[in-house]
A and B are shown apart, each in its own frame.
Chain A
Amino acid sequence: MARYVSYRDFDWVLLGFVLIICGLGVMEIHSATMHTKFAGAHVKQVYWVVAGVGAMFVISLVNYQALLDQIHWFYIAGVASLMAVLLFGQKYLGAKRWIHMPGGNHFQPSEWVKLILILAVAKYFADMRERELSWPDFMKAAAIVGVPMLMVLKQPDLGTALTYLPIAAMGVFLGGLQWRQGLTVALIATVGLGAVFFIPRVHVLKSYQKQRLTSFVDPELDPQGSGYQVEQSKIAVGSGGLWGGKGSQTHGAFLPVPQTDFIFAAFSEEHGFVGALGVLLLYFIVLMRLTQNAQTAPDRAGTFVVMGVVAVLSFHILVNVGMVVGFMPVTGIPLPLMSYGGSSVLFMFLALGMVMNVRMRRFVN
């Protein structure tokens, strides 16, 4: 078997669209932080994107099949790093999410674990030899995702923990989930959520998490808290109108963190419905391009890897844009590729590197 890979097979179109989105993100970060203490963040974001693209090329060269063969070690290392966070992590704003690294950097393992989970789930389902999913297989898949997810919840970081769910869901769905199983899981999830919210003795969610969720249901209850953020976000988006405006919400600092979690609100305020819809379209093109790559993958594992990336990306967009337009509660999930932040950018490009990796080997087998 010839194992010749060429950059001719690299998905340059996908990279092009991704970089357009990144460019819009950098523009908006510049505009939103211009007169704040974060001024200059857009330059840093450019560095992160450049670093991300570099990392993407590097990871695309390593054969994903080789990675998958060693995935159990990565998985163990990932769980160990999460354990390290829980034991030695830096407490910041009431949560332990980071480990201090030499050189003054912070390392947030939960982002990398996301990547490991995509591969682990892909490996698990690729090795499965059944057309239909059995309950024990389902439970095993749930356990693979569930263990790190519970550890992240313990930090606590509900937002990131939730992003592990679509990886499992996509795997299970493509792996042969049956209708009855789907219904049963949906039922259990509904009952479970109900218990978390309405039985006061169950302390799964922190009070600020509950508050975020309840204020999502009724923003009037808490106009100065997270309900206030959603309200300000809606005002920003709504006042943008069809063609966009001056962005008084963003520049008047009414919009919370306009360069990270609420970057889409800031963008929508300045560029209106037309601009916002354009960005959504760009994301949609990227996602469709990715699914196309999944279809042409050389093996089942490759498809699962790409679709895992699709799942995470779609979930981020759904939750983030949903939050900005007031359909979703505030969870602290950034908008991939646009939001300011090194971890988020690097994760996305590494995930895209995996996709390129798969694509470049589509004719190999």
Chain B
Amino acid sequence: MLGRDEKVSEVRLTAAQYIILGIFLILAYGLWKLQVMESGYYASAAEKNRIRNVPVLAPRGKILDREGRTIVDNYPSFSALLLRDSTRDLVGDADLIAQGLHLDPNEVRARIRHFASMPQYQPIFLKEDITPDELQFIEAHRNELPELDTIMAHRRLYPRNGFMAHLIGYVGEVSEDMLNQPQFELYNSGDVVGISGVERQYNNLLMGTNGSRQALVDSHGREVGRLGETEAIPGKQLKLTVDIDLQIAAEQALEGKNGAIVAMDPHTGEILAMVSGPSFDPNDFAVHVSRDQWNKLVTDPDKPLLNKAIQAQLAPGSTFKIIMSVAGWQEGIAQDLHVNCTGGAEFYGRRFGCWVKGGHGPVTLEKAIYQSCDVFFYTLAEKLGIDRIAKYATALGLGQKTGIDLPNEVAGVMPSEEWKIKNFKQKWFAGETISVGIGQGAVAITPVQLLRAISAISMGGRMVVPHVINPVDVPAGYVEAARYTEVKNVPIDPNGWTFVTDAMSRVLLPEGTAPSAHVPGIDIAGKTGSAQIVSLATRARFKNSDDLAQNGWFVGFTPRRNPDIVVCVLFQGGEHGRLAARLATQVIKAYVDKQHRTPQKMVEKPKSKGTVDIGGLWTEPGSDGGKEALHGGRFVLDLPKKPLAVAVAAPGMHQ
């Protein structure tokens, strides 16, 4: 028993003191561990807590035409950004965010989850090109939804109504697929990159380098200060070889039609115009293309997304006869070939008809070209054989990619015995050669291939690589300039060259196949073609349905030798080449008219003086009022202080 005054055990009180001491030593150790041993780690963790990198988006480079006129520009727009480095419950806020930005809440949640494994500093681009009321929603909810932010982006402004859409292409957010490909390894998720056309081909040049802004933030994600800014490096501007004036002419020619028009300078390979129809409006996808809209474009039988100039593989029809003529001449057969056309002929036990049912009568090479006699070329094909035809066609680039600087060009097919065995494990039948002679059968080429081949023939064998930018205008390192200046010489006998081009110049004359396309005063040489997509018999069974109508072709150039411009027209469902020829001559006429308008030689502006000396010659009646006499003189002109504005007009475009 204890007495009332007996004290509590002294030992236990001391023990309690030691226990307290123990507790304090443990706590002191905890502080020492964090603040002395690991303070470096926590100091950097605190740094990371405070600094947020906000991207500053670089504008893409402008796209200009060959004269420096703007085709594609940018306009400022706001994107809604979801920052992931705050402590907010993003999934919990998804409903409100989706409501305010007019998005599907499930999609928002899915995107947040999709990004869960990405680094925290990487924001999610929720919506691009937000409307003013969505911008207002974000501003009004700065406190409730601090994770929601906006960023100014430069959006692409393309010409309206699909003007030049196939050549230019369009941009879009880089896809998961692309990110997995090695050539896109430098791209980040969320980057806007070129998806097609020039935008894709020259993406590295056009795309700038994004900068970033280091912002001091608190744990609610509110910016409380700025540390520094790495400026965005804008993309380089790109000058195309295309001439807007010519492009407009080509667009107008093909308006409402299926097909393609390509115009090229045969000396350099510079593409002057390229249209594919029907077109699409790239502005529709610049922001967000709806599923319906996309499906409509993809399932449209007229394939508006296809750049038919480089992606349509079709039988060249009678235009192929020019290649046949060159092959026949080089082999010494065509120049001496005389055929009597009776509207058809029998080869290898089968009758092959000529497009003129009554026949052309006696035909030589010249008439065979401007009258497009099938029987002549059947005969020539039989004499040449498929391998000799293939040799020349291949040398002129048919059945191969031209190497044009646009993505997804297709190769087409130039058949040969070897080709047949390789692809079909079958021997070539001699009868197949006959169809090839008039550009039917297995031959499938793209408009740009045909353009290049005919261009080479018009130049006496000088074959260039088509391209849409002038490598000289591009900073070194972005483009393999050598690729586009490469010239191949196909040996063509000068006499054959003269003969064939002379014959071609008669195609648009009254005796030719396309007299209606004749333009007085312009020396146009060319060749029409109408290619069946099914045999005439089959087409008859479908009651001559328009879907099976023949494709009209025309390849023409001016002047007839060493021309300034070559134009190839594919008019799908155009029935006859003469209709295609009219489209081509519209473009050629626009070209020639422009050449007449543009002074060929300009006086160079003096650097120091405000005046210019001009020497001139003129005639005027003599002093007796009779005979005209030649006079000469020197003029000193004052130069205007400001350069005169050059009027420029292009649909859907601003300067």
Residues of A whose CB lies within 8 Å of any CB of B are: 128-131, 170, 173-174, 176, 224, 228, 232, 234-242, 245, 248-249, 251-254, 268, 272-273, 276-277, 280, 283-284, 287-288, 291, 294-295, 299-300, 303-304, 307, 310, 314, 317-318, 321-322, 325-327, 365
Contacts and interface: CB of A to CB of B under 8 A. Distances in A.
Contacts of B8: 174, 294, 300, 303-304, 307
18 contacts: A224-B89, A228-B87, A238-B34, A239-B42, A239-B45, A242-B35, A248-B49, A273-B36, A276-B35, A277-B28, A284-B20, A291-B16, A303-B8, A310-B20, A314-B20, A321-B27, A322-B27, A325-B33
Interface in B43-78: 43, 45-46, 49-50
Contacts of B15: 173
Interface in B515-544: none
Contacts of B4: 299-300
A327 B32 CA distance: 13
B417 interface: no
Nearest to A244: B35
Nearest to A239: B46
A225 B220 CA distance: 14
B258 to A, nearest CB: 57
B38 interface: yes
Interface in B252-281: none
Nearest to B38: A238
A300 B35 contact: no
Interface in B1-22: 1-2, 4-10, 12-13, 15-17, 20-21
Contacts of A228: 87
Contacts of B115: none
Q: Is the interface of B mostly helix, strand, loop or mixed?
A: helix
A273 B31 contact: yes
B23 A317 contact: yes
Interface residues of B, number: 45
A295 B10 contact: yes
Interface string B105-146: 000000000000000000000000000000000000000000
B7 to A, nearest CB: 7
Contact of B26 (A128, A273, A327): A327
B30 A326 contact: yes
A237 B30 CA distance: 10
A304 B39 CA distance: 42
Contacts of A322: 26-27, 30
Nearest to B39: A241
Nearest to A284: B24
Given A239-B42, A254-B49, 9 more contacts: A235-B42, A237-B35, A268-B35, A273-B32, A280-B28, A284-B21, A325-B33, A327-B26, A365-B5
Nearest to A325: B30
Given A277-B28, A304-B8, A234 B220 contact: no
Contacts of A130: 1-2
Contacts of B20: 284, 287-288, 291, 310, 314
Nearest to A322: B27
Contacts of B21: 284
A245 to B, nearest CB: 8
B618 interface: no
Contacts of B472: none
A39 to B, nearest CB: 15
A312 B38 CA distance: 31
Nearest to B17: A291
B564 to A, nearest CB: 69
Contacts of A326: 30, 34
B224 A252 contact: yes
